[in-house]
Amino acid sequence: MLGRETMARVAIVTGGSRGIGRATAKQLAARGDAVVVGYAGNAELADEVVAEITAAGGRAVAGRADVADEKEVAALFELGEKTYGGIDVVVNSAGIMTLSPIADLDLDALDRMHRTNIRGTFVVLREAARRLRDGGSVVTVSTSVVGLQLPAYAGYAASKAAVEATSLILARELRGRDITVNTVAPGPTATSFFLDGKDQETIDRMAKQPPLERLGTPEDAAAMISFLTGPEGHWINGQTIRSNGGII
C-alpha cells in the first residue's frame, strides 16, 4: 500500500478561482495533488486556474458549487471521486465579507454573509466528514480579525469565529481516522477580497501593522495550507494558525 508521502492525492478547494483559494489550488497541484477547483459563479476564472495547472503538468478540473447548498457541494465531491477516485484533502476557502459598524449593519447582508461563511462551512465539513479517505486533511480559512476585533468587522468576525470553533470540534469527532482538521487565519492579504473598497491610506496603514511591515500574499496563506495538508504537517491537528506576519 502507498503511504501518505507517496500516494497521489486528490484535493477539493472551494473558492478556488481567486485569491487564497486560487493560490492554494496551484500550490497543491504543484506538489502532485489532483485538484477540484470549486467556484461559485465565475467559470472563466476557474477555467483559467485549471488551464494554468494543466499547462504546468498538473491535474485539475473545475466544478461549480454554492457552498451553502448541500446538493451542489455533494456534487462537487462526487466530481472529485468520479474523476480521480476519491478525496484526501478539503480546503474551504470560500467566503464573503460585509463591513459595517454594528449600529448600521444591514441584517440581510449579515444573513447572506453567515449563510456562506457559517452554513457553507458546515455543509463542506459535513461532506468532508462523510467522504474523506482516512489519512486525509481538512483546512478551513478564518481571519486574524477574530483576534484583532477591529471596528466594522463584527459580523464577519462572528462568522469566522464559528468557523474556528466548528473546525476544532470536527477534528475531535474524526478521532480514529487519522484525519487532521485545522484553520488558517490570515491577516490583511493583498487580494481583491481585502483591497476592494479601501483607500490607499487605509491599505498602507494596515500593511504597517505586522512587524514584517507588508501585506500578506495569497501565496503566504497557501504555503501554510499546503504544509498543514502535507505529510510534514500531519501532526498538527485542531489548531488555528494566525498566519499574519506577527500582528498581535
* CA separation for the pair 188, 144 (Å, rounded): 8
Kindly tell me if the per-residue pLDDT of 35 is higher than 80: yes
**Averaged pLDDT for residues 160-170:** 97
Which domains, from first to last, does the chain contain? 10-241 (3.40.50.720)
Kindly tell me if the per-residue pLDDT of 4 is higher than 50: no
Q: Which residues are catalytic?
A: 156
Beta strands in 65-212 (DSSP E): 89-92, 137-141, 180-184
C-alpha separations of 176 from 86, 140, 180, 185, 204 in Å = 19, 20, 11, 26, 46
**Is 195 or 61 the better-scoring residue by pLDDT?**
61
pLDDT band at 5 (very low <50, low <70, confident <90, very high): very low
pLDDT band at 7 (very low <50, low <70, confident <90, very high): low
∠ CA 200-202-205, rounded to 5° = 105
pLDDT band at 213 (very low <50, low <70, confident <90, very high): confident
pLDDT over 70, % of the chain: 95
Element (DSSP H or E) covering residue 107: helix 107-114
pLDDT band at 197 (very low <50, low <70, confident <90, very high): low
pLDDT band at 103 (very low <50, low <70, confident <90, very high): very high
| Residue in 87, 139, 132, 93 with CA at minimum distance from that of residue 116 | 93
- Weakest mean pLDDT among 49-63, 122-136, 187-201, 216-230: 187-201
pLDDT tens digit sequence for 216-247: 899 999 999 999 999 999 999 999 999 998 88
pLDDT tens digit sequence for 53-101: 999 999 999 999 999 999 999 999 999 999 999 999 999 999 999 999 9
pTM for the full model?
A: 0.92
pLDDT band at 188 (very low <50, low <70, confident <90, very high): confident
* CA separation for the pair 204, 13 (Å, rounded): 30
